[in-house]
Amino acid sequence: MTAFEPLNPDYDAEVRRRFAQQPYNLSIGARVDKVAPGRVELVMPARADLVQHNGYFHGGAIAGLADIAGGFAGWSLVAADQGMLTVEYKLNIVAPGLGEQLRAVGEVVSRGRSIIVTRIDVFGEADGQASLCTTALQTLKVMRLPPELLAGAA
């Protein structure tokens, strides 16, 4: 992975704070596990409402977690008055999402002034073993945050 320098020295706290402000993230039980410049790891425990009829994590839950992980990997690199919008992502489910939890690892591949590209791998974790279930590429649009979101930044 290429080393990236964050534009916000408080990137770790900012990622965690912004993550916690998004009700969807909390509704699926996701949490931030690790943050580094250009890299975020999220975990999401298995729950009955997140699995499909075969007991695997639902593809929508996997895709949502991947989108969030990539977005916050990008957010770790931008200035304090900036945020992200996903403009595209392509997801390949390569194996069933199975285990006690999913771990999504989002990493920035390329950072420009207005576009960030990320790669996300999602792993099912069971009995201490991780198994790749999904890989994705994502394109993010860097945007200036609206004033009402900046006002609550303190």
CB 84 within 8 A of CB 77: no
Write the pLDDT tens digit of every residue in 40-81: 999 999 999 999 999 999 999 999 999 999 999 999 999 999
Q: How far apart are the first and last CA of the chain?
A: 32
Which homologous superfamily is 11-151 in? Hotdog Thioesterase (3.10.129.10)
Structure tokens at 125: 């974790």
At 150, the pLDDT band (50, 70, 90 cuts) reads: confident
Which residues lie closer than 8 Å to 16 by C-beta, 6 or more apart?
A: 32, 35
In the block, tokens 């073993």 appear at 129
How high is the pLDDT of residue 9? 96
Mean pLDDT of 114-135: 97
Q: What angle do CA 47, 53, 58 make, to 5 degrees?
A: 55
List the domain boundaries for the chain.
Answer: 11-151
H helices of the chain, in order, are: 11-20, 23-27, 59-75, 147-151
Q: What angle do CA 40, 149, 22 make, to 5 degrees?
A: 45
